Structure 1
Amino acid sequence: MTASDPTLDVVAIGNAIVDVLARSDDGFLAEHALTKGGMQLIDAAMAENLYADMPQAKEISGGSAANTLAGLAALGKKCGFIGQVNDDQLGAVFAHDVHALGIRFDTPVMHGEVPTARCLILVTPDAQRTMNTFLGASQFLPESAVDFELIRSARILYLEGYLWDPEQPRAAMRAA
């Protein structure tokens, strides 16, 4: 192996989202005017209010690209992730979860008012899931956060299409 040979199988750039799952009932959905079985984008205020009212929940890191890497890591592949979290509780949860899977994740945390992204998922007894997604800090991945050495160390660079719309992450992915 030479110094230029890849050491990672896949590096992905994507939304760093923490899924917050809770069992719920139709009454809770109606009380919060949520469409059963739907998915909606929500703002920070609604994310805070809904989370405060949710029953006991389980937090699991997610996002399309991060979930892809989790599957690849479970199959024994060596992976790295580039995505933006804030220096908050859910940002620490996300970092812990991906590190626990053996995924390299060294993107500097964001400091400021935009919290880490989360998807608040309510599951009713009939197994319908109602998803409420706040994209938060993940939508502010700057080009300066792109680790070009990490990218060069991989056989494959995977870019999450969901992150293409916001200007900052699109510039970061173009640079990558």
Structure 2
Amino acid sequence: MADLKYDVAGIGNALVDVIANADDKFLTANGIEKGGMTLIDAARADELYGKMAASIEMSGGSCANTIAGLASLGGKGAFFGKVRGDQLGEVFIHDIKSLGVAFPASQASDGAPTGRCLIIVTPDAQ
């Protein structure tokens, strides 16, 4: 049997989780339901991202997380997903490659921005 380059290759959504603290006033001022989850478009994501306080940005997405887990256990993995040539695309590529996961895709120069999950944490941990 031929040597395989990867133990597992995954195809999925390349996402960056953006986690920031905010108070209830921020939620109210921006029409955000406390404890809720809302799907938003890219324009709204850009608007909120610009208003959020300093944040922690870390790559995610269920498939990418699975391949990252494989790499942490010593496996050889590759992840295939789409990122844009933007700041969050750079974050995703840096994070996934720093774990030893191959990311052979190139950054898109047009289309939607890199996917993100904006997580706003209030003082009561909601």
TM range (shorter): over 0.9
Instruction: Give the SS at the match of 1:115.
Output: coil
Between stretches 29-38 and 96-105, larger displacement belongs to: 29-38
Residue deviations 1:25-63 (CA, integer Å, cap 9, x gap)? 211111111111222111111111101110111110111
Select 2:33's aligned residue among 29, 32, 35. Answer: 35
Q: Which of 92, 103, 113 is the matching residue for 1:94?
A: 92
Gaps of 5+ in 2: none
Deviation at 1:113, TM superposition (A): 4.1
Whole-angstrom distance in 2 between the partners of 1:21 and 1:43: 18
More helix by share: 1
TM-score w.r.t. the length of structure 2 is: 0.93
Amino acid at match of 1:79: G
Q: How does 1:41-120 map to 2 (within 5 A)?
A: 41-120=39-118
Higher strand share: 1
Mapped pair 1:123 → 2:121: yes
Where does the alignment leave 5 or more consecutive residues of structure 1 unmatched? 129-176
Report the alpha carbon displacement of residue 7 of structure 1 after superposing the two structures with TM. Answer: 3.2
CA deviations 1:58-112 (Å, max 9, x no partner) are: 1101111111112221122211000000111111111110000000001122111
Say which of 16, 19, 31 aligns to 1:18.
Answer: 16
Q: How many positions carry a matched residue from both structures?
A: 126
Q: Provide the rounded CA distance (Å) in 1 between the counterparts of 2:37 and 2:111.
A: 24
Code of the residue aligned with 1:9 in structure 2: it is D
The alignment's C-alpha RMSD in Å is 1.3
